[in-house]
């Protein structure tokens, strides 16, 4: 699936149900194709509140990403937004009947499968990218995230946990829908076993289990197996892709993150939006310019190490 130069939505509706990770309440999500370039817009159906997926509406960012508008909160939106952004579906109405989206298997894979089954269609017009022209950085102590100019969306992520089962993991890739599906989408959310009691005491992760999260103990994961040896850093990249959806448009830049999380991911999106002198709109990417001459996969192999 090459990168597309046209705005995209789904070919047909998708409905998925499950329980929220933190509140453990049931939720049904209906993805309704857009008829114009609306962006990604959530609709909380009990109140009819429309909440665009925009960084200026971000609320609580502890362990998940939340949007807040008119007193309505929508929590744990990042995995669905990640699947949509990773597969370049950027215009959609997302109807939800509760305040937290279903965690499903803890990854974006169920969304990816449903989206690929439904298929995507182009909307009229050209896809507009936010092309970074000047570096920007957001820091919190020794945790940081920054973006640099790059022709494409390249992600470089490092995590470094002081327990041997996790340790230091790093990964880097230039995002395409195919790479998203193969390398990031199936990576599950994770936590440390020692954090579980603390999270529950704060009313978080009440719906968490080994069916929807990887839990790392002192000697390794408590789950039977991992999907990738470095599943944790891949999930951080999945989260980053989802949080960058709050820019409201696809990004062209190299994003480097060190031990970041939702607050820094969204902080970077807010910094980009607040500094319009550091980026410009473009309808062209290097990939879309040259794909008339090369297959996207050949180009990827030839031009990029990851």
Question: Which residues belong to the active site?
Answer: 262
Smallest gap from residue 109 Cβ to Zn ion (A)? 12
Q: Work out which of 88, 230, 239, 243 binds Zn ion, going by CB under 5 A.
A: 239
CB closer to Zn ion out of 183 and 239: 239
Smallest gap from residue 81 Cβ to Zn ion (A)? 10
CA distances from 121 to 23, 33, 118, 206 (A): 34, 9, 10, 38
Smallest gap from residue 283 Cβ to Zn ion (A)? 31
The single residue listed with the structure tokens 């936010």 is 130
Smallest gap from residue 131 Cβ to Zn ion (A)? 27
d(CA 303, CA 15): 38
Q: Among candidates 232, 260, 228, which has minimal Cα distance to 244?
A: 260
The single residue listed with the structure tokens 């992600």 is 155
Is 107 a residue that touches Zn ion (CB under 5 A)? no
Locate 154 and state its tokens: 């390249």
Is 88 a residue that touches Zn ion (CB under 5 A)? no
CB closer to Zn ion out of 173 and 241: 241
d(CA 165, CA 128): 42
CB closer to Zn ion out of 120 and 257: 257
Binding mask 25-44 for Zn ion (x = CB under 5 A): --------------------
- Is residue 237 within 8 A of residue 193, CB to CB? The reply is no
**Interaction with Zn ion in 264-303: which residues (CB under 5 A)?**
none
Smallest gap from residue 164 Cβ to Zn ion (A)? 23
Cβ-proximal residues to 258 (8 Å cutoff; 6+ apart), any chain: 142, 143, 144, 145, 157, 158, 160
CB atoms within 10 A of CB 295: 10
Is 99 a residue that touches Zn ion (CB under 5 A)? no
Is 243 a residue that touches Zn ion (CB under 5 A)? no
CB closer to Zn ion out of 91 and 265: 265
CA distances from 60 to 26, 63, 75, 200, 210 (A): 20, 9, 8, 17, 25
DSSP type of residue 114: H
CB closer to Zn ion out of 115 and 120: 115
Within 13 A of 167's CA, how many CA atoms are on the CB side? 7
Binding mask 166-195 for Zn ion (x = CB under 5 A): -----------------------x------
Is 82 a residue that touches Zn ion (CB under 5 A)? no
Is 231 a residue that touches Zn ion (CB under 5 A)? no
User: Which residues lie near Zn ion (CB under 5 A)?
Assistant: 189, 239
């Amino acid at each position: 699936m090459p990168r597309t130069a046209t705005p995209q939505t789904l070919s047909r509706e998708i409905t998925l149900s499950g329980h929220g990770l933190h509140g453990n309440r049931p939720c049904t999500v209906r993805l309704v194709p857009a008829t114009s370039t609306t962006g990604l817009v959530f609709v909380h159906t009990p109140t009819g509140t429309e909440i665009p997926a925009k960084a200026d509406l971000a609320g609580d960012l502890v362990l998940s990403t939340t949007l807040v508008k008119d007193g309505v909160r929508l929590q744990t939106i990042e995995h669905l937004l990640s699947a949509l952004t990773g597969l370049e579906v950027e215009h959609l109405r997302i109807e939800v009947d509760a305040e937290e989206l279903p965690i499903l298997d803890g990854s974006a894979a169920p969304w990816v499968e449903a989206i690929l089954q439904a298929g995507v269609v182009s909307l009229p017009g050209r896809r507009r990218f936010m092309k970074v022209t000047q570096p920007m950085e957001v820091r919190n102590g020794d945790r940081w995230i920054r973006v640099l100019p790059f022709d494409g969306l390249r992600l470089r992520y490092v995590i470094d946990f002081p327990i041997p089962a996790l340790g230091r993991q790093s990964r880097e890739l230039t995002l395409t829908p195919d790479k998203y599906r193969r390398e990031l989408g199936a990576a599950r959310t994770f936590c440390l076993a020692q954090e579980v009691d603390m999270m529950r005491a704060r009313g978080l992760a009440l719906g968490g289990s080994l069916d929807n999260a990887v839990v790392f103990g002192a000697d390794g994961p408590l789950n039977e197996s991992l999907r990738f040896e470095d599943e944790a850093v891949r999930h951080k990249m999945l989260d980053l892709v989802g949080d960058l959806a709050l820019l409201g448009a696809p990004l062209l830049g190299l994003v480097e993150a060190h031990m970041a999380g939702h607050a820094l991911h969204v902080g970077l999106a807010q910094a980009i939006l607040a500094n319009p002198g550091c980026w410009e709109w473009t309808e062209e990417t290097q990939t879309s310019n040259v794909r008339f001459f090369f297959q996207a996969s050949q180009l990827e192999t030839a031009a990029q190490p990851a």
